[in-house]
Amino acid sequence: MVKAVIHAGVCGFTTRVIAESEDMQSVTLNIESTCPNITKFAENFPVLDAYEELGAGQSGTIFEKAGDKTNRCCTGCVVPAGVFKSMQVAAGLALPTPISIEIENFWEDQDV
């Protein structure tokens, strides 16, 4: 079982993902979020074939579901990538290593 907590950024929403796989291929996701858009994205999430999902990349279920107009997921949202990474780790296709994005204000470091 893989547990991930994703802090989306300035929106302040937090998403928790539990990804489980008994056969290292079929992955079940339980996604809970304080974001109403991610909550909608998480509804009726199918069991994923991790190998198919990995091969499909941006055309796979996770990113297609995130991009669906009814889910209204922000294009820059890091949650779908975090869900994808959780699925990979649950299937043994990635190591359980922390991931992060740190945004710095470049202009604060400059004498403009």
Give, for all 112 residues of the chain, the pLDDT tens digit.
999 999 998 899 999 999 999 999 999 999 999 999 999 999 999 999 999 999 999 999 999 999 887 777 788 899 999 999 999 999 999 999 999 888 887 776 666 5
Q: How many residues does the chain have?
A: 112
What is the 8-class DSSP label of residue 69?
Answer: T
What type of residue sits at position 36? P
CA distance linking residue 81 with residue 76, whole number of Å = 10
50 DSSP assignment: H
- What distance separates the 2 farthest-apart alpha carbons in the chain? 56
Residue type, 8: A
pTM here is: 0.90
Q: Where are the domains of the chain?
A: 2-93
CATH topology of domain 2-93: Sufe protein. Chain: A (3.90.1010)
**3-state per-residue secondary structure call for 28-68:** EEEEEECCHHHHHHHCCCCCEEHHHHHHHHHHCHHHHHHHC
Cα 49 to Cα 93: distance, rounded to the nearest angstrom: 12
Residue 78 has φ and ψ, to the nearest 5°, of -85, -10
